[in-house]
């Protein structure tokens, strides 16, 4: 038996293990100092009440003959898809129910969607970036071109005619940079894709952090033409604290055709063959996220995290430190002061004031010289961390 | 963008849609006749009490700061893996914790495990068979050889030196035939795999239907040498009624090496990159399945289904109809009487006595002339169906 040789080309990331080791060393040496972790990408606030109530109900149902649910539709129950359909309608995006596929999270779909594409396709990935885009394509053996995201383009690269690729990734609001594309900028991407017969894989996992009354696009389908060249992957992980509850969705428009094949039908075939749907209990919990009460409750949590981001942004602004994100994103991506390198600044923050960030270099070579802070901690810790930083930089 | 052309080679199965249409037509014409469905592959009994209680607890935890669980280990929590480790130990199979990977069900892993293998591998698949083995390999573009399973080999094909392949599928107890390999027969498979540098993908989704005190193997790892040539995919779907709750596990031994690569490490890399684990709540429910009380409760359900199978087997035996399964399996695979074809007998049963089976021809060309009945209905319906069949055949 021959293994898939492409796995030999994967690089092991030591980013989080190195961060962990360095923090442990610091704590061992300084048992009295309180370390504040602003590096984590996981939420910390519990599931909201509506979700808890809905899941209790569903658990009860599963214990009765009448309420028991066995195999459901692989692509998700209509009760949840209808809620997501309405959620999109608020942004004037009209979706058919069959265009929405419920998943166990964005990470699964980011990887699995590649099943539909030839390995001969050339892939365009911004750098710095969420590592899964790169690794999943390496596993398949596709050729990757990196697009430089930097201070010059405010970490929002825009394509031009020299860009040649078949598959392009966009993550907006971006992980790790927090940068958000405008509609005008996304229109350039859509036009480029249509002209080049390319597909855009649009990662909208952080759309909920965009101010609801903002003009910034929450979905790529707000852009004309996108339904012919883009699919969108979304998640309840950050929206509703579902990182350990696992539910997301992917929108594959009916108008998405390549090589005389319809991608919506292909994805349906993929999912019905290789997936058996998300647990009924979890889908009932997800449904509650989109109820009126649920939306109120999750907004409180999102606003809590956004307030943390605001506090961090204020401190950085005060000290004239360049950063992206912090407004419509839980992430702050900052230029390390005094031209320090990512790891250098990481060590400096940890050793001087006991703050843990994530070195930007871990997200790609163009992330060097930057550091990512996240808003997922508590208000008290975030405030204290910024007071320490303020003092350090003053 | 070029699509994955292999999808063009997939055939659409009209099996279940045709069954559905025919049943609907019959019901429309005969509104007074009670149709009994013995074709379904889904369980009907609710989740057991221990599981319900455990999931309620976990839901409550998720609503508190202290008990909230965000991202868990992609390969599953140790609390569940330890339970599965003990479960295997009852059959004298010793597993390391890191050899057990918790999944959202066997179907996902059956498809996803193929990520690890080169598309150049030749695949050996028994016929008739669970359709996912075939379709997932066609999606990847691998060449498939079918092994004939028939009356002559009691639907348990055994390899010989003429078998040349890199990947071989075994499902025991088998879906759809219900046939179960003995240890001696599996040993021949293991020796063949070791000799040919092949890997066995062992689908043990129905192992729980094997009598606990039986000598029949519940795991391929009961066979010497298997840890060097096999991985095993298992599911709580039929064991504990988790078809709509979604949890399973895959065992990838540490000793599984091909091309200087370790498959356990490759699968870990695959899962950490393309999967984010099973919901905490569901894993707590699964843990309860393996508790003492949980095992008692699920055994009651399994025995209930097994009793249905026994009732069906008795009727067929009485009328000298050849069948496999029915003892250590929820499936009965019977030879259609009077040399009728699969669909011919299906129509005959439906129109004469209102019983719905699944035509064997839908599981592969060597399934022609057979019909599958399942034990997942109620006792009352199963009994009534067999009384009708007894009368029809008398």
**What does the pLDDT look like over B301-358, one tens digit per residue?**
999 999 999 999 999 999 999 999 999 999 999 999 999 999 999 999 999 999 999 9
Whether the CB-CB separation of B262 and B231 falls below 8 Å is answered with no
> Could you tell me the CATH number of the domain that includes residue B141?
3.40.640.10
Kindly state the tokens that stand for B171: 């499902």
Please name the residue of chain B whose CA is at the shortest distance from the CA of residue A122: B1
What are the chain B neighbours of A118 within 8 Å (beta carbons)? 1-5
List chain A residues with CB under 8 Å of B120: 2
Q: What is residue A84's three-state secondary structure?
A: helix
Region label for B155, one of left (φ > 0), alpha (ψ between -120 and 50) or beta (otherwise): left
Contact B221, B172 (CB under 8 A): no
Read off the pLDDT band of B4 (50, 70, 90): very high
Q: Which helix (H) or strand (E) is B3 found in, with range? A: none
How large is the average pLDDT for residues A278-298?
A: 98
Which tokens is B165 given? 């392949």
Instruction: Give yes or no: residues A127 and A269 share one domain.
Output: yes
Q: What average pLDDT is seen over chain B?
A: 97
For residue B196, the chain A residue with the least C-alpha distance is A1
Cα dihedral angle (B11, B15, B17, B19), rounded to 10 degrees?
170
Q: Per DSSP, which regions of chain B are E strands? A: 36-37, 100-103, 122-127, 143-148, 167-171, 199-203, 230-235, 248-251, 257-258, 261-262, 323-325, 331-335, 355-356, 358-359, 370-374
Same domain, A302 and A354: yes
pLDDT value at residue A13: 81
Residue B371: the pLDDT is 98
Q: Which residue of A has its CA nearest to B48?
A: A63
Q: Are residues A10 and A122 in the same domain?
A: no
Nearest CA in chain B to A248: B276
Cis peptide before A213 (omega within 30 of 0): no
Q: State the pLDDT confidence band at A369, using cuts at 50, 70 and 90.
A: very high
> Do B166 and A120 make contact, defined as CB atoms within 8 angstroms?
no
DSSP B117: B
Say whether B46 and A59 touch across the interface (CB within 8 A). Answer: no
Edge-first strand order for the sheet with A199-203 is A100-103, A248-251, A230-235, A199-203, A167-171, A122-127, A143-148
Counting every residue written for chain B, the total comes to: 394
Summarised one tens digit per residue, pLDDT across range A203-249 is: 999 999 999 899 999 999 999 999 999 999 999 999 999 999 999 99
Contact A275 B111 (CB under 8 A): yes
Tell me the nearest-neighbour CA distance from B377 into chain A, angstroms: 12
- Residue B111 with chain A: CB contacts under 8 Å: 273-275
My answer on whether A356 and A283 are in the same domain is no
Domain identity same for A90 and A27? no
CA distance B347 to B49: 40
Q: What pLDDT does B14 receive? A: 81
Whether residue A221 sits in one domain with residue A176: yes
Q: Report the distance separating Cα A341 and Cα A193, nearest Å.
A: 35
Same domain, B97 and B201: yes
Does residue A380 carry a pLDDT above 90?
A: yes
pLDDT confidence of residue B41: 85
Angular region, A241: left φ>0, alpha ψ -120 to 50, beta rest: left
Is there a single domain that holds both residue B281 and residue B309?
A: no
Among B8, B243, B276, the residue with its CB nearest the CB of A105 is B276
Instruction: Flag whether pLDDT at A54 surpasses 90.
Output: yes
CATH code assigned at B306: 3.90.1150.10
Q: Which of B62, B108, B275 is closest, CB to CB, to A52?
A: B62
Max CA pair span of chain A: 67
Q: Which residues of B touch A111 (CB under 8 A)?
A: 273-275
Mean pLDDT on A152-174: 97
Q: Average pLDDT, whole number, for chain A? A: 97
Q: Among residues A259, A291, A323, which one ends one of the domains?
A: A291
Task: Kindly tell me if the per-residue pLDDT of B92 is higher than 90.
Answer: yes
Quote the tokens at residue B367.
Answer: 């399934």
| Same domain, yes or no: A106 and A233 | yes
Q: Which long-range contacts (CB under 8 A, 24 or more apart) does A53-57 make?
A: A53/A288, A54/A284, A54/A285, A54/A287, A54/A288, A55/A281, A55/A282, A55/A284, A55/A285, A55/A288, A55/B59, A55/B62, A55/B281, A56/B56, A56/B59, A57/A284
Q: A76 and A10 share a domain?
A: no
Q: Which chain A positions have a beta carbon within 8 Å of B4's beta carbon?
A: 115-119, 266
Inter-chain touch A115–B70, beta carbons under 8 Å: no
Number of domains in chain B: 2
Mean pLDDT over residues B81-100, rounded? 97
Burial of A24 (0-12, 13-18, 19+ CB in 10 A): exposed
Q: Are B181 and B217 in contact (CB under 8 A)?
A: yes
Q: Do B276 and A59 touch (CB under 8 A)?
A: no
Taking only the tens place, the pLDDT of each residue in B19-59 is 999 999 999 999 999 999 999 789 999 999 999 999 999 99
- pLDDT at residue B245 greater than cutoff 90: yes
The pLDDT score that the predictor gives to residue B212 is 86
A70:B110 CB<8 A? no
pLDDT digits (tens, 9 = 90+) for A101-118: 999 999 999 999 999 999
Check CB contact under 8 Å for B166 and A1: yes
Q: Do B42 and A167 touch (CB under 8 A)?
A: no
- The reported pLDDT for the residue numbered A14 is 82
Task: State the pLDDT at residue A153.
Answer: 97
Minimal-distance CA residue of chain A relative to B378: A65
Same domain, A267 and A337: no
Tell me which of B239, B273, B293 is where a domain ends.
B293
User: Which residues of chain A make contact with B55, given a CB cutoff of 8 A?
Assistant: 59, 62, 281
Out of A69, A121, A269, closest to residue B1 by CB: A121
Which one of B13, B40, B200, B244 would you mutate to disrupt binding with A, by most A Cβ within 10 Å of its Cβ? B244
Of the candidates B1, B70, B278, which has its C-beta nearest A117's C-beta? B1
DSSP 8-state assignment for residue A309:
H
- Alpha carbon of B5: minimum distance to chain A alpha carbons (Å): 7
Confidence band for A140, pLDDT divided at 50, 70 and 90:
very high
Query: What share of chain B in percent tops pLDDT 90?
Result: 97
State how far the Cα of A132 lies from the Cα of A230, in Å rounded to an integer: 19
**For A53, nearest residue in chain B (alpha carbons):** B59
Instruction: Quick: pLDDT tens for B247-295.
Output: 999 999 999 999 999 999 999 999 999 999 999 999 999 999 999 999 9
Contact A8 B261 (CB under 8 A): yes
| B280/A62 Cβ within 8 A | no
pLDDT of B187 strictly over 90: yes
Q: Which domain, by its residues, includes A286?
A: 49-291
Q: Which residue of A has its CA nearest to B268?
A: A7
Residue A229's pLDDT is: 98
Whether pLDDT at A40 is above 90: no
Last residue of a domain, one of A291, A306, A323: A291
Report the pLDDT value the prediction gives residue B340, as an integer from 0 to 100.
Answer: 97
Q: Which H helix or E strand runs over A47? A: none
Q: What percentage of chain A reaches a pLDDT higher than 90?
A: 97
Pair (B280, B312) in one structural domain: no
Percent of chain B with pLDDT over 70: 100
Among chain A residues, the shortest Cα distance to B12 is held by: A269
Min distance B318 CA to chain A CA atoms (Å): 33
**CA-based nearest distance A391→chain B, Å:** 31
**Do A207 and A12 touch, CB atoms closer than 8 A?**
no
Helix (H) or strand (E) holding A124: strand A122-127
Over range B90-99, report the average pLDDT.
97
Looking at per-residue confidence, does B13 or B140 come out higher?
A: B140
What is the nearest CA distance from A148 to chain B, expressed in angstroms?
22
Q: Do A60 and B43 touch (CB under 8 A)?
A: no
pLDDT tens digits, A79-138: 999 999 999 999 999 999 999 999 999 999 999 999 999 999 999 999 999 999 999 999
Question: What is the pLDDT, as a whole number, of residue B320?
Answer: 97
Q: E strand or H helix at A224, and its extent?
A: none
Query: Nearest CA of chain B to the CA of A3: how many Å?
Result: 4
């Amino acid at each position: 038996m021959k293994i898939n040789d492409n796995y030999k080309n994967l690089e092991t990331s030591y980013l989080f293990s190195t961060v962990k080791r360095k923090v442990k060393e610091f704590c061992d040496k300084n048992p009295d100092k309180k370390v504040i972790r602003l590096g984590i990408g996981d939420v910390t606030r519990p599931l909201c009440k509506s979700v808890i109530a809905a899941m209790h109900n569903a658990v009860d149902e599963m214990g009765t003959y009448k309420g028991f649910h066995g195999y459901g539709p692989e692509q998700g129950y209509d009760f949840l898809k209808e809620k997501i359909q309405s959620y999109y309608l608020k942004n004037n995006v009209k979706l058919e129910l069959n265009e929405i596929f419920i998943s166990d999270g964005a990470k699964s779909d980011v990887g699995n969607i590649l099943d539909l594409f030839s390995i001969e396709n050339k892939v365009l990935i911004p750098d710095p970036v969420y590592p899964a885009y790169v690794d999943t394509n390496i596993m398949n053996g596709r050729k990757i071109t990196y697009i430089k995201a930097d201070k010059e383009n405010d970490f929002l690269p825009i394509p031009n005619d020299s860009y040649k690729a078949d598959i392009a990734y966009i993550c907006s609001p971006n992980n790790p940079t927090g940068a958000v594309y405008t509609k005008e900028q996304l229109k350039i991407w859509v036009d480029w894709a249509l002209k080049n017969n390319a597909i855009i894989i649009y990662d909208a996992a952080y759309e909920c952090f965009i101010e609801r009354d903002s003009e910034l696009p929450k979905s790529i389908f707000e852009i004309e033409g996108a339904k012919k060249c883009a699919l969108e992957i979304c998640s309840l992980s950050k929206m509703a604290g579902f990182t350990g509850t696992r539910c997301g969705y992917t929108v594959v428009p009916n108008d998405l055709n390549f090589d005389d094949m319809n991608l919506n039908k292909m994805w349906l075939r993929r999912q019905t063959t290789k997936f058996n749907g998300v647990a009924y209990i979890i889908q009932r919990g997800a449904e509650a996220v989109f109820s009126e009460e649920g939306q109120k409750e999750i907004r409180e949590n999102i606003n809590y995290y956004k307030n943390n981001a605001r506090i961090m942004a204020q401190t950085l602004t005060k000290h004239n430190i360049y950063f992206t994100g912090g407004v419509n994103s839980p992430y702050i991506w900052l230029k390390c002061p005094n031209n320090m390198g990512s790891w250098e600044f990481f060590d400096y923050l940890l050793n001087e004031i006991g703050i843990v960030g994530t070195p930007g270099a871990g997200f790609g070579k163009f992330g060097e010289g930057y550091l990512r802070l996240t808003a997922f901690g508590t208000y008290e810790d975030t405030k204290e961390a910024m007071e320490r930083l303020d003092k350090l930089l003053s």
